[in-house]
Structure 1
Amino acid sequence: MNQTAVRAIPEPSRTGTVPFRGHGTWFRVTGDPDALRPDAPRAPLVVLHGGPGVAHDYTLAMTALAGDGRAVVHYDQLGCGLSTHLPDADPASWTVELFIEELRAVVDHLGIGDRFHLLGQSWGGMLASEVLLADPHGVASLSICDSPASMALWLEAAATLRAELPEEVQAALLRHEEAGTTDSPEYAAAMQVFYDRHVCRVVPNPPEVLASFAQLEADPTVYHTMNGPSEFHVVGTLKDWTVVDRLPGITAPTLVVSGAHDEAMPIVWQPFVDRIPGARSHVFAQSSHMPHVEEPEWFTAVVGAFLREHD
């Protein structure tokens, strides 16, 4: 495991709320606000966080990508973080289409809808691929970080890694899943063993990562509805999701990254590389599911070079 390093997260140059379907989507901009102008030398980067329903905080190390003069936009997807929470919403309302529409509302509000880079981490990469397939307008490049091309592949990888956990940890996970007691502290402790191996190997986790996990615990509405109670007990509305057969329809320059110890094993992201024309990949040797946290300097170098190539 890696040790926690103290990292300074820069203050935003702008924050605000985008009106969306009668609610509010919160955003922050890092970097010079003028970098949002259509004629800025560097196209702005929009970051899609994971979950679904895990607030943006854990991706804040990506603000380092503003170091070359570009604006970096983070926002909390509806239902989490500083955006409107809807714990009593109809479960059927949480759809991929909702979040595609929200992304477009954010970029249009900021005036960057005609030119921006799109980066998605975990669920955010799944969403980013759907954005490109729905309407590629304005997307200068696509970065898919630690994401599966289908939930079936994700579950296959999760089962492989779960079988490598200590027997007592496996037994605790199974016992609570069968009993429907996945809110038990024992289940959470067993999950933490998996997280320390395959989600974030910087232990203890940095404050921004802990903030996202705390937010998820406080309001798991979106995550439980679309995913389920844990990374490998996927019983939500995304359980049959796949983009594999549609990937040739993505034509934007694409970079796919992951960690060598990632819960997103190569089988889950290889279809992006194989099926998106010209896509390329990079694996971070010391990372699991959060290379931007676990190897931040190297992540910034690799992704930053790709973005500059396609400004």
Structure 2
Amino acid sequence: MKRIILFASILFLFSCRGDQNTTSLKDYHALTDSGVQTGGVRMIPIKTPAGTFNVWTKRFGNNPKIKVLLLHGGPGGTHEFFESFESFLPQEGIEFYEYDQLGSYFSDQPKDTSLWVTARFVEEVEQVRKALGLNKDNFYLLGHSWGGILAMEYALKYQDNLKGLIISNMMSSAPLYGKYAEEVLAKQMDPKVLDTIRTLEARGDFNNPKYMELLMPNFYAQHFCRVNPWPEMFNRAMPHLNQSIYVMMQGPSEFGVGGSLAKWDRSKDLPKIKPPTLTIGGKHDTMDPEHMKWMAGQVQNGRSLTCPNGSHCSMWDDQPNYFPGLISFIKDVDAGTFKK
């Protein structure tokens, strides 16, 4: 009789564990829209002070409990930098959305420069959230690079809508980002190469082919993406960058920040962020990995992940560390077992 009771208990435990699965494979791939199928692509109208425009989104999978919205870098970049996520998140049953912000290649590209301010982008994200039906019970926001700035700004205004926040490869202070580039990364360069780069910058001669010819092997290949050769996506996505937005807000390159974001600093406001938060950095990042680790200790419920082989695009050059860390965070928050 004891054996029968024990066996019944084991069956009960396994049945309960099965009920806790976030979603079945069939449910994850189930069609959600009637009519012509678009592969998950949806254009969402966004109201702005300059009129209404459309932004591009693409949905992967179905999971009522876990929905991740991805905010790309740039500014003026594209969702294409998140294509690697397509190889890792679906098999974990994680629903996620690629999304091109207004002005980016797959979305409308209005010419009104008054639109390219952080506060307006925050309101755009909020409109996208509502349109996609994301809420505090399922909404994870992941921002990479400039998208990390946008994610922090969104959290500081709308964090009650969030279930989890991921700040990927972004510091909380642009001045400190510039200082790290100048005092750490620049000193790793050949002095003659650095001198030529700084001379071109001082002249404002950013369109000189020599500028990128020097930065690509000496900076981008070391600190932006260390995969050699770069994945096909990079060659496709780089020409899609909206240069006017990028230069206006970021500056001429990733080697420091010189645009309208140059004085952006939220380091003192991090303690206001309440949702479970993961900060991700790469050992070889354009950003200071120690600062990104520090950020996790400043928010109220933070965890840090440093990718030992990663650079600024750790989702490409350190996938064995980036994705397990990201997935573990999401599943821990979903299960209610998240710990710092």
TM-score, normalised via structure 1 length = 0.89
Q: 1:186 to 1:179 in 2, by over 3 A?
A: same
AA aligned to 2:198 is L
Looking at structure 2, the residues matched to 143 and 123 of structure 1 have their Cα atoms a distance apart, in angstroms, of 13
Pick aligned residue for 2:118 from 89, 96, 115: 96
Cα pair 1:58 1:210 within 8 Å, conserved: no
Greater relative CO, 1 or 2 (CA 8 Å, sep 6+)? 1
Other structure's SS at 1:137 match: helix
Is 2:39 the counterpart of 1:18?
Answer: no
**Offset of residue 212 of structure 1:** 2.3
Q: 1:235 to 1:24 in 2, by over 3 A?
A: same
Looking at structure 1, the residues matched to 256 and 148 of structure 2 have their Cα atoms a distance apart, in angstroms, of 20
Pick aligned residue for 1:264 from 282, 287, 291: 287
Corresponding residue number in structure 2 for 1:162: 186
- Alignment root-mean-square deviation, CA: 1.7
Q: How does 1:187-206 map to 2 (within 5 A)?
A: 187-192=211-216, 193-206=218-231
Corresponding residue number in structure 2 for 1:174: 198
The one-character-per-residue Cα deviations of 1:110-160 (angstroms, maximum 9, x if unpaired) are: 112343111111111111111111111321111111101110110011112
Q: How many correspondences in the alignment?
A: 290
Other structure's SS at 1:230 match: coil
Looking at structure 2, the residues matched to 169 and 49 of structure 1 have their Cα atoms a distance apart, in angstroms, of 30
AA aligned to 2:99 is Y
Q: How does 1:1-311 map to 2 (within 5 A)?
A: 13-21=39-47, 22-31=52-61, 34-35=62-63, 40=64, 42-63=65-86, 64-86=88-110, 88-90=111-113, 92-114=114-136, 115-159=138-182, 160-192=184-216, 193-216=218-241, 219-311=242-334
Cα pair 1:244 1:271 within 8 Å, conserved: no
**Offset of residue 270 of structure 1:** 4.1
Other structure's SS at 1:27 match: strand
**Offset of residue 161 of structure 1:** 0.3
AA aligned to 1:14 is G
Identity of aligned residues (%): 29
The one-character-per-residue Cα deviations of 1:62-89 (angstroms, maximum 9, x if unpaired) are: 2222321121101011111201113x32
Q: 1:180 to 1:53 in 2, by over 3 A?
A: same
Cα pair 1:153 1:267 within 8 Å, conserved: no
Cα pair 2:289 2:306 within 8 Å, conserved: no
Looking at structure 1, the residues matched to 164 and 68 of structure 2 have their Cα atoms a distance apart, in angstroms, of 9
Corresponding residue number in structure 2 for 1:4: none
Looking at structure 2, the residues matched to 70 and 260 of structure 1 have their Cα atoms a distance apart, in angstroms, of 27
Cα pair 2:292 2:304 within 8 Å, conserved: no
* Structure 1 runs (4+) greater than 6 angstroms displaced: none
Cα pair 2:177 2:257 within 8 Å, conserved: no
Looking at structure 2, the residues matched to 111 and 128 of structure 1 have their Cα atoms a distance apart, in angstroms, of 18
Other structure's SS at 1:183 match: coil
AA aligned to 2:207 is D
AA aligned to 2:227 is V
**Offset of residue 224 of structure 1:** 0.7
AA aligned to 1:94 is W
Other structure's SS at 1:302 match: helix
AA aligned to 1:80 is S
Looking at structure 2, the residues matched to 180 and 70 of structure 1 have their Cα atoms a distance apart, in angstroms, of 45
Looking at structure 2, the residues matched to 119 and 233 of structure 1 have their Cα atoms a distance apart, in angstroms, of 22
Cα pair 1:79 1:221 within 8 Å, conserved: no
Corresponding residue number in structure 1 for 2:26: none
Structure 1: any 5+ residue segments left out of the alignment? 1-11
**Offset of residue 20 of structure 1:** 0.8
Other structure's SS at 1:299 match: helix
User: Which has the larger share of helix?
Assistant: 2
Structure 2: any 5+ residue segments left out of the alignment? 1-37, 335-340
